[in-house]
Amino acid sequence: MEINATKVAYELNNGETSLVSIDLYGNDSSGDYVNATVKVVTTDLAEDKTFGDLTQNELITLAKTKLANFTMIK
């Protein structure tokens, strides 16, 4: 199933990005679908990175990775 971002929203605290909220959506031909909002926070970033260092596509990739980990059957 292909998952696409439908919204990217930056939350600011004193002018600095504190988190990025990303809406993800996907569906397949059988009618199954996924609809999720994933928050990327500073602890999700590499140690030497800030939100300003990352492109929107890199943030979306982080959100997709978090979604995959959230939905993994354990």
Chain segment 7-41, per-residue pLDDT in tens: 999 999 999 999 999 999 999 999 999 999 999 99
Owning domain of residue 26: 4-71
pTM of the model: 0.90
Domain count, the chain: 1
The answer for 15, left when phi > 0, alpha when psi is -120 to 50, beta otherwise, is: left
> Amino acid identity of 38?
V
pLDDT tens for residues 43-70? 999 999 999 999 999 999 999 999 999 9
Residues in the chain: 74
The span from the CA of 65 to the CA of 74, in Å, is: 16
